[in-house]
């Protein structure tokens, strides 16, 4: 028998039918990035059809896959139920932690793809990067990788390299939903 106090400190996800313990206490940088994204989503979507859901919201894709993403956008109100989201969200964000990165980049990404999530972000607080995958023809395709450069790194870049750096991320769900990469990593 496991230690009940130990189990209470951990959230559990089900990935392809396997119970997987999540890290009990993410780093402050992880929490800040997830909060920044949720605040940006919430503020933009206020009064619109789609709705933002923060970390802690259970996502039930099927009986074999129950996740707790760091952020989600759901445009179908029929899948929003009292105990969580039961169906496929339109956008899912996973903020990497050392203990969960392999699952977020591997198995969970494959499950999101298989179920038809339209847009998937993998966010690294350490690398200060956002990988955006868009679903086309049933497969995720890397749309862009965004980076938040320090002022020092930016100053060291050549002008032609700076011109190629995307500073704003366009969310595919709305034409006018554009996010500053700096805002995602504010205070990180």
| 90 or 100, greater pLDDT | 90
pLDDT digits (tens, 9 = 90+) for 108-161: 999 999 999 999 999 999 999 999 999 999 999 999 999 999 999 999 999 999
Domain CATH number, residue 148: 3.90.1570.10
H helices present in the chain, as ranges: 4-8, 28-45, 101-105, 107-115, 151-156, 159-164, 181-184
Asked if the structure places residue 144 within a domain, the reply is yes
Asked if the structure places residue 121 within a domain, the reply is yes
How many structural domains is the chain composed of?
A: 1
| pTM reported for the whole predicted model | 0.90
pLDDT digits (tens, 9 = 90+) for 20-52: 877 667 889 999 999 999 999 999 999 999 999
**Structural domain of 32:** 26-184
Show Cβ contacts of residue 150 under 8 Å, excluding neighbours closer than 6 positions. Answer: none
Asked if the structure places residue 19 within a domain, the reply is no
């Amino acid at each position: 028998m496991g230690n009940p106090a130990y189990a209470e400190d951990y959230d559990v996800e089900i990935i392809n039918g396997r119970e997987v313990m999540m890290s009990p206490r993410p780093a402050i940088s992880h929490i800040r990035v997830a909060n920044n994204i949720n605040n940006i989503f919430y503020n933009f979507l206020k009064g619109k059809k789609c709705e933002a859901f923060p970390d802690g919201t259970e996502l039930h894709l099927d009986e074999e896959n129950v996740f707790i993403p760091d952020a989600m956008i759901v445009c179908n109100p029929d899948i929003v139920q009292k105990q969580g989201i039961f169906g496929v969200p339109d956008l899912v964000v996973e903020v990497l932690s050392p203990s969960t990165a392999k699952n977020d980049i591997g198995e969970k990404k494959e499950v999101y793809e298989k179920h038809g999530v339209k847009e998937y972000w993998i966010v690294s607080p350490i690398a200060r990067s956002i990988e955006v995958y868009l679903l086309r023809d049933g497969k995720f395709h890397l749309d862009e990788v965004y980076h938040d450069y320090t002022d020092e790194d930016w100053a060291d870049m050549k002008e032609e390299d700076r011109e190629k750096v995307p500073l704003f991320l366009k969310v595919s769900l709305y034409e006018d939903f554009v996010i500053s990469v700096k805002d995602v990593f504010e205070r990180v």
